[in-house]
Amino acid sequence: MVTPFRGDGSIDEQALVQLVQWQISSGIHWLVACGTTAETPTLNDEEWLRVLRIVTETADGRVPVWAGCTDNSTRRAEERTRLASQIPGITAILTASPYYNKPTQQGQFQHFSAVASATQLPVVLYTVPSRTGTNLKPAAVLRLIDSAPNIAGIKESSGNLAQVGELATRAPRSFQIFSGDDVIALGTVSVGVAGVVSVASNEIPREMSSMMQAAISNDWPTA
């Protein structure tokens, strides 16, 4: 979800409530609050928490709500994860590879392991090399699945269908892969993703939800 702002740079709370209501009534299956599409790099800590609370209170249990808890400092990512986990209605943590730092595969393993240890909620990993400068490869993901039982899925934005397919083939069935790229969302369904964390859904939620539901149901003409 985007975070609506007023002209003075403050959060437009009424617009945020309306956006949540519209998304749910349009048939989306879950909400992601405070991902990077929400412009979290521009939110201070109080605003970040306020957005999470508005989204969860408005959703009121009708759909799951994931909290974005990304930071290039492992300690801050842990702190945000602990704070988000205490908010009623948050059902999972979404966290990306540390940006700018370009950690190795082992460095990412240590980072994500620490974040997963900071919560009992399901953790959804997020690899987006175009934004962070580093890719989380399937071998590291599989190690994380084995070492942290609450690592439950990944938002895959590598743009590499072969990588997505490898992970879908090798990961346990309980581990869910979500496309993070609207442009190739349909293509990733063909290699085993469970859905899409969509930016376009902010504008066209009903269409995106219907398209993905059709594809996952193997109704490709409709999709």
Digit-coded pLDDT (tens) for 42-70: 999 999 999 999 999 999 999 999 999 99
What pTM does this model have?
A: 0.96
State residue 207's pLDDT score.
97
The pLDDT score that the predictor gives to residue 13 is 98
- CB–CB of 6/47 below 8 Å? no
pLDDT at 188: 93
pLDDT band at 129 (very low <50, low <70, confident <90, very high): very high
Q: What is the gyration radius of the CA atoms in the chain, in angstroms?
A: 17
| Averaged pLDDT for residues 110-115 | 98
Contact between residue 64 and residue 23 where contact means Cβ atoms under 8 Å apart: no
What does pLDDT average to over the chain?
97
pLDDT of residue 77: 98
Catalytic residue set: 126, 155
* Residues 191-194: contacts with CB under 8 Å, at least 24 apart: 191/161, 191/164, 191/165, 192/164, 192/165, 192/168, 193/156, 193/164, 193/168, 194/153
- Give me the percent of the chain exceeding a pLDDT of 70: 100
Q: How far apart are the first and last CA of the chain?
A: 23
* Beta-bridge partners for 31: 65
Q: Residue 17: its pLDDT value, please?
A: 98
Place of tokens 């987006």: 128
CB-neighbour burial class of residue 118 (10 A; exposed 0-12, middle 13-18, buried 19+) = buried
Contact yes or no for 45/28 (Cβ under 8 A): no
Tens of pLDDT, residue by residue over 170-212, are 999 999 999 999 999 999 999 999 999 999 999 999 999 999 9
Q: What average pLDDT does range 113-122 have in this prediction? A: 98
Backbone angles phi, psi at 128, to 5 degrees: -145, 75
Query: What mean pLDDT do residues 23-37 have?
Result: 97
User: DSSP H helical segments within the chain, as ranges?
Assistant: 13-25, 45-59, 74-85, 105-117, 129-132, 138-147, 161-170, 185-189, 205-216
